[in-house]
Structure 1
Amino acid sequence: MAESSEEPKVSLRLFIDEEKNKVVLAEASKAFVDVLFSLLTLPMGTIIRLLEEHRESQPITVGCFSNLYRSVAEMGIDNFKTDVCKHILLHPRSVRDLQYKRLMLNINPTEVKLFKCPISCNFYSHFSTSRCQCGSSMNKEFQEPRVVPVASSIQNDVNGVFIITDDLKVAVRSTDVVLNELKSLGSGDISKLREMLVYIGFEEVLTLLECMFSSKAPLTNTFLNKQTFQGQGVTKVYETLSPCMETNGDTFLTLDVIVRKQDMEILYVECGEDFVDLLFTFLAVPLEYVVGISGNSCSFVCIRNLIRSFKDLNAAEVSTSKSAIHHFYTCQKQLLNIITDQPPLYHRYNYYSLKECSGSTPLILIDPEGSGFVKRETKFTVSDDLIVTAMNSSSPICLLQKFQIHADDLEVQQISTSKTEATSLLRASLVTSSALKTSLRNLILKNPEEEI
């Protein structure tokens, strides 16, 4: 992201242990803390896009989410229901878009345009390529009604300066908090701490976001060890997940799984559009929810610290049980504990009095067209690390050749998944590069021929 002379900056005061070359503490204003907390609410697809733009020279890897995002980017437009479906997956909308607008540093500015039918039907769209229910192109742009500013992510009675630790614990500044942190880090000799004032713009926020995934000391690695992360991606992690606590035994989706007989490992699945739509909705799920259900993964300690701090400061809404995604991302098969927000109803107002016109009918959103993103009756393959490919563009023989396995060593099993497995798949997508194997292995029938 290119910097400009008019780019807004937020100050941050660092206290550094020079012997250890480590940030011990930082003092921050409410403006910076709001920006920090806003990172938790970004959709996963937005995070992947921002990090890839930030490190153009080398792809960024965040579990399997990077593969999901690139699958959308590389898939032909003819495999999607409309060009809008591909666009909203590559540029995921958040239910917090209005909150981002009031931030001093908004790393994901979203321009919202509204279009309506030129013959005065009561429908509107976010895209000029949409068609009204009457058949007309919805190409008449109109201005979104003025929105009341959204409150800060921190309650209004929490003001002043905040203390931020190197592993992203946030608390209101107090002597007690400072002393406890200095003692716990073995930095009790305050005279040896050096003070440094830094000014943070878009580039620094993106580097900090990257370090949240790849480091247990993101402040130190962002501001002191800048060279450490130059040209590096976010490391893939391989972890065994604890069992998902949520249970739902109802059949959710049926998949054909290609299995290697030798060790009964999943190589890939063949599936229809519902499973791919489900995977693509993962890109719209906010970071706070994905990390919240990922268990006690040691890879995301700093992000979990930030979530806990957000809750401790009585922030607006951070939920570990339910989370909302934008109404664009409605699908036939929804995840457990994921809800979609309701689209706003716009009323017609008198231009001069700014009063609602008497008897006016609210404008109703018609985006997206139906539910889901890819065309119906389409077959796909999904690899263990969630690379999605339309079968009309890739032969199964070419795919099998990559594994260099004899046909006699492979078999196809049909499995029935529940919403519990779907939630486990989302968890695995963040913390491992083998999402299918990690989340579906318990459904594979071991040596079925011997059990007949």
Structure 2
Amino acid sequence: MASNNTEEKITLKYWVDNGEKRVIMAETNGEFVDILFSFLSLPLGTIHHLGNLYGQPVEMGCINNLHQSVKHMSSDVSSDVFWNNICQEMFRYPRNPLEESCRRLKVKVDAIPRTKYFMCHSCSKASRLMVSSFAGARCSCGKLMRKEVELAVEEPKDGESGVFVKGDAMFLIFDNLRVLRSTPSDSLQPLLKHRVKDLNMVKEKSQIVGPTEIFSILKQALTSKSPLSDVLLGNIQSKRCCSFPSRFISSHSKGSVDIKVIVSKSQNKILFAEADGEFVDFLASFLTTPLGYILKLMKGKLALGSIRKLYKSVKRLDPSWFIGPSSYESLLNPKVAPQFGCKDNPLYVAEEDTAPKYWYGTVATGVGKDNTGRMMISKKKEMLQDPKELELFDPRLCDGAKKSVVGFMKKPCIFIVMDDLKVIPMTTTSSISYLLEQQNKKLNDYEEHFVKIRNSHEALSLMRASLTCKEAALTQSLCCLLAKWKCQRWIPFGSVLERKKKRPRKKREQVAKEREVTSDTRNREREKKEKKKEKKKEKKNEKKNEKKNEKNDEKNEKKKEDGGENKPVLPKPAEKPDEEKKT
């Protein structure tokens, strides 16, 4: 998808070693750095869609299988699992949360059309107005919202250049996409690292870069540690640079999802999982989550190519080199686009605006020369004359009203989620025929477990495994539980514990009552024994005191008889010194 427009290209200057095997560093202004930083705002579903658009499929673990499953469910007429047709398109073509900023980039990789807004013709003059950012939405009155209205946006200020960073600043970009401010001291680091002893060994080059080359850099950034060398010098490697660490990262969020897991005891792996629409909403929300927000959840420790170096560069750069604090924070925490999140999932991916406000009215004078006097909508009330507040239509609800969001999938509905995150709705397949298709026909080898996907370990590890594992995302993310279940099988009294769990409720209550009765009787017997011991101790102490009193009385009587009390006490004679004793 190379564009013929010369305005959509940029010249990049870089340095290579004498053998021209690797790029040491590149130096450019803020325009190219803005393009690199915009990678963090792209949702995973958009990256997959752009890979097919440019003819360069991106390898992102099981995300490709998840995207294909959503596409198959939306194309299959018999699998009516979404609330409406809009929910199908939201997963296939998620929106960029920084869409307005990315439209000002010099080279646009994400060539998705601008968001359009629609209103109802019959209700456009009523007191209660609704606006939809999706085509084909149905108003509360029952009619389709077909009246297109434009969004009034403030024009950039005079003298302001750049999208995220200052356009006139110079930056250094290393081979692993690490970005630094261009200084002589920082330019020495890569030269010393590559053991360059003489500057004559370094060769300067320049290349015109367009959307195709920039997307190739994004693709290699997800799989390689040297994306600049891979694209600029053609050293594309087939090795995939990613790993699944055993340490988990905690997250502070609310919510949990219950699933049933079918395990193969002989292979010690998860075959598939049975879940409802909530779990599928959680999995599908990976497609609408920006890449930068995933790195934030993982605290920059996602071992996926060199994309984490780019995220850490934003974190370590001085905020004064950015256009403003809002652009700096939006890159570190790129939230999900409005209405594309799922609030009930364990990760609780925050949306950009939980309830964004829009206003409808005439554009005020001085706001825009071309739009003055036109009827438009805006997010800022002061840009319009006599503005009216609008209610945003939510496609995740069956009626689009302001109520608690139910999600994208219909409920109740049962899904089968394979180990590689292929999702199959049970409305299109038979459960018996699905079991017959399995390679292992031995029923004794199957084992089922109930798992609660919480926020701390399971949810984050499942998201990490979906990006780093191609075939066994469920097995890899729940490996700790698999080890626990394997140990329970080897415990000799494990079957007894399972029988106790499978007892009916009445028997459990009877056993509990019997235990309570026996515990009460034991406590009473213990109290009686303790009282007897205390009485014996008291009797012994009384006898000892009586004997002591008798002895004291006898001593006093003897002293009186001897008259020891009336005798005067005489002083002792003084002792002689040692010398007199010797003489």
Within 5 Å, which residues of 2 pair with 1:338-349? 338-342=349-353, 344-349=356-361
- Which has the larger Rg? 2
Structure 1 partner of 2:428: 393
Summarize the Cα distance change of 1:55–1:402 in structure 2 as closer, same or farther, 3 Å threshold: farther
Within 5 Å, which residues of 2 pair with 1:394-413? 394-405=429-440, 406-413=442-449
**Partner amino acid for 1:349?**
G
Structure 1 unaligned regions, length at least 5: none
Structure 1 partner of 2:460: 423
Structure 2: how far apart are the matches of 1:44 and 1:153? 22
**Partner amino acid for 1:419?**
N
Query: How much has 1:173 moved relative to structure 2?
Result: 1.0
> Is 1:381 the equivalent of 2:416?
yes
Summarize the Cα distance change of 1:397–1:193 in structure 2 as closer, same or farther, 3 Å threshold: farther
Within 5 Å, which residues of 2 pair with 1:431-446? 431-433=468-470, 434-443=472-481, 445=485, 446=488
Q: Does the CA-based 8 Å contact 2:337-2:351 persist in structure 1?
A: yes
Q: Does the CA-based 8 Å contact 1:113-1:127 persist in structure 2?
A: yes
Q: What is the TM-score normalised by the length of structure 2?
A: 0.70
Give 2:146's match in structure 1, choosing from 130, 139, 151. Answer: 139
Query: How much has 1:195 moved relative to structure 2?
Result: 1.2
Q: Does the CA-based 8 Å contact 2:16-2:25 persist in structure 1?
A: yes
SS at match of 1:214: coil
Q: Does the CA-based 8 Å contact 1:81-1:373 persist in structure 2?
A: yes
Structure 2 partner of 1:362: 389
Q: Does the CA-based 8 Å contact 1:62-1:236 persist in structure 2?
A: no
Query: How much has 1:305 moved relative to structure 2?
Result: 1.2
Give 1:117's match in structure 2, choosing from 110, 117, 120. Answer: 120
Structure 2 partner of 1:328: 339
Structure 1: how far apart are the matches of 2:61 and 2:6? 35
Query: How much has 1:401 moved relative to structure 2?
Result: 4.6
Structure 1: how far apart are the matches of 2:64 and 2:452? 26
Higher RCO structure (Cα 8 Å, ≥6 apart): 1
Summarize the Cα distance change of 1:213–1:28 in structure 2 as closer, same or farther, 3 Å threshold: same
**Partner amino acid for 2:358?**
Y
Q: Does the CA-based 8 Å contact 2:265-2:447 persist in structure 1?
A: yes
Structure 1: how far apart are the matches of 2:256 and 2:213? 42
Structure 1: how far apart are the matches of 2:185 and 2:328? 27
Structure 1: how far apart are the matches of 2:66 and 2:346? 17
Query: How much has 1:391 moved relative to structure 2?
Result: 1.2
SS at match of 2:282: helix
SS at match of 1:275: helix
Structure 2 partner of 1:163: 172
Query: How much has 1:322 moved relative to structure 2?
Result: 5.8
Q: Does the CA-based 8 Å contact 1:261-1:411 persist in structure 2?
A: yes
Structure 2 partner of 1:21: 21
Summarize the Cα distance change of 1:443–1:450 in structure 2 as closer, same or farther, 3 Å threshold: farther
SS at match of 1:256: strand
Summarize the Cα distance change of 1:190–1:395 in structure 2 as closer, same or farther, 3 Å threshold: farther
Structure 2: how far apart are the matches of 1:277 and 1:241? 26
Summarize the Cα distance change of 1:357–1:321 in structure 2 as closer, same or farther, 3 Å threshold: closer
SS at match of 1:350: strand
Structure 2 unaligned regions, length at least 5: 366-371, 373-382, 398-404, 499-583
Deviation string, structure 1 residues 191-218 (Cα, Å, up to 9, x no partner): 0211111111010011101110121111
Give 2:234's match in structure 1, choosing from 211, 225, 238. Answer: 225
Corresponding residue pairs, total: 443
Q: Does the CA-based 8 Å contact 1:170-1:306 persist in structure 2?
A: yes
**Partner amino acid for 1:328?**
Q
Query: How much has 1:258 moved relative to structure 2?
Result: 0.8
Query: How much has 1:363 moved relative to structure 2?
Result: 1.6
Q: Does the CA-based 8 Å contact 2:302-2:308 persist in structure 1?
A: no
Give 2:71's match in structure 1, choosing from 70, 73, 98. Answer: 73
Summarize the Cα distance change of 1:61–1:352 in structure 2 as closer, same or farther, 3 Å threshold: closer
Q: Does the CA-based 8 Å contact 1:14-1:25 persist in structure 2?
A: yes
Within 5 Å, which residues of 2 pair with 1:91-102? 91-102=93-104
Structure 2: how far apart are the matches of 1:62 and 1:192? 37
Summarize the Cα distance change of 1:160–1:403 in structure 2 as closer, same or farther, 3 Å threshold: same
Q: Does the CA-based 8 Å contact 1:213-1:299 persist in structure 2?
A: no
Structure 2 partner of 1:190: 199
SS at match of 2:306: helix
- Bigger share in helix: 2
Structure 1: how far apart are the matches of 2:252 and 2:396? 32
Give 1:103's match in structure 2, choosing from 102, 105, 112. Answer: 105
Within 5 Å, which residues of 2 pair with 1:307-318? 307-313=311-317, 314=319, 315=322, 316-317=327-328
Query: How much has 1:160 moved relative to structure 2?
Result: 2.4
Structure 2 partner of 1:8: 8
Deviation string, structure 1 residues 283-302 (Cα, Å, up to 9, x no partner): 11111222344477684352
Structure 2: how far apart are the matches of 1:320 and 1:34? 10
Structure 2: how far apart are the matches of 1:167 and 1:42? 19
Identical pairs, percent: 29
Summarize the Cα distance change of 1:154–1:100 in structure 2 as closer, same or farther, 3 Å threshold: closer
SS at match of 2:385: coil
SS at match of 1:167: coil
Summarize the Cα distance change of 1:144–1:177 in structure 2 as closer, same or farther, 3 Å threshold: same
Query: How much has 1:378 moved relative to structure 2?
Result: 1.3
Query: How much has 1:102 moved relative to structure 2?
Result: 0.6
CA RMSD of aligned residues (A): 2.7
Structure 1: how far apart are the matches of 2:301 and 2:432? 37
Q: Does the CA-based 8 Å contact 1:273-1:376 persist in structure 2?
A: yes
> Is 1:271 the equivalent of 2:275?
yes
Structure 2: how far apart are the matches of 1:235 and 1:55? 19
Structure 2: how far apart are the matches of 1:301 and 1:318? 23
Deviation string, structure 1 residues 131-175 (Cα, Å, up to 9, x no partner): 11222210111111234449845454x842211111111111111
Q: What is the TM-score normalised by the length of structure 1?
A: 0.89
Deviation string, structure 1 residues 313-366 (Cα, Å, up to 9, x no partner): 2253458996521122233523436211225423233257456333x4212211
Of 370-379 and 384-393, the range deviating more from structure 2 = 370-379
